[in-house]
Amino acid sequence: MTADLSDPIFYDENAARMALEAIRWPSGPVCAHCGATGKIGAVQGKSHRPGLFYCGDCKGQFTVTVGSVFERSKIPLTKWLLAVHLMAASKKGISSHQLHRMLGITYKTAWFMSHRIREAMTSGGLGPLGGPGVIVEADETEIVPSTKTRTAGGRKRSENKRFVALVERGGAVRSKVIDERGMSQVRAAVRENLAPGTILHTDGANAYKALMPLGQHEVVNHNKTFARDSNNGRVYTNTAEGYFSLFKRGLVGTYQHIDERHLPRYLAEFDFRMNHRAKLGVNDKQRAERILKGAEGKRLTYQQTDRAA
């Protein structure tokens, strides 16, 4: 982990605010209400907190957190930025318990914070993976809920959860929670996420059969070998399997008892780090900045249990 904890943005509220302003508004403040940029001024005076802006177009006031997952939070921005940096830099994620201890906030607050940060990591509207001649690996995996999770809250026994992941060789990942026997969902994920001409590498799972045109699907039979050569490159699914193994170790080691309703958001967190991994030239600081940028235009409608206690 290389977050430089001596950076003023982690202890000086003004430095934290200005850092967030620079990331969110690289060419100057943008009105959070009407999107105008022309007639914006800082609201001066002792009765106002620093960082309050006034828009001459819509007469509204706003700060850098309005219209983001940080809006209406009572937690200091310094703690938000520290939590974001920790989540950006921890390969297997960081538990709410650890955030609670490191940031000196309640467990409940840490839990809400980490879910808001996960929301900032979700990436809608990304383009398809692959393209002509580009290899994408597909794989599925299953997690079995712990006995504790199965009976939590007196709810009925949870089913095992299945996931499908598509990983472009040397590129991005898209993963998804699917039903236990969701062959059609696997096929839908492939159809929705692959650009035409992509070469799909999979193990022998039936879901992929007859899905790709001839010559665009290579299978590695795991009963015999873990990789083989073909005219379409070396066939293996190790990247996708490695991704799942990281996700599972994160779930087991860091998030022991997560509620299955939140699984898609945890998956989005792991997708985000994979899509901005060091191998693709993104360092910890840049990854954190992309989360902060992604916090924009997103809201979570949790109740106001968000206290800096």
Q: Give residues in contact with Zn ion (CB under 5 A).
A: 31, 33-34, 36, 55, 57-58, 60
- Return the biggest CA–CA distance within the chain: 74
Q: How many residues does the chain have?
A: 309
First to last CA, the chain: 26
The Cα 81–Cα 77 span in angstroms is 6
* Strand 135-143 with 199-202, pairing: parallel
Residue 237 tokens read as 């699914």
Task: Provide the minimum distance between the beta carbon of 39 and Zn ion in the complex, in angstroms, as a whole number.
Answer: 8
Nearer of residues 11 and 25 to Zn ion, judged by Cβ: 25
Whether the CA torsion 175, 94, 170, 224 is positive or negative: it is: negative
Task: Provide the minimum distance between the beta carbon of 68 and Zn ion in the complex, in angstroms, as a whole number.
Answer: 16
* Cβ partners under 8 Å of residue 125, min gap 6: none
Smallest CA-to-CA distance from 28 within 16, 41, 15, 17 is with 41
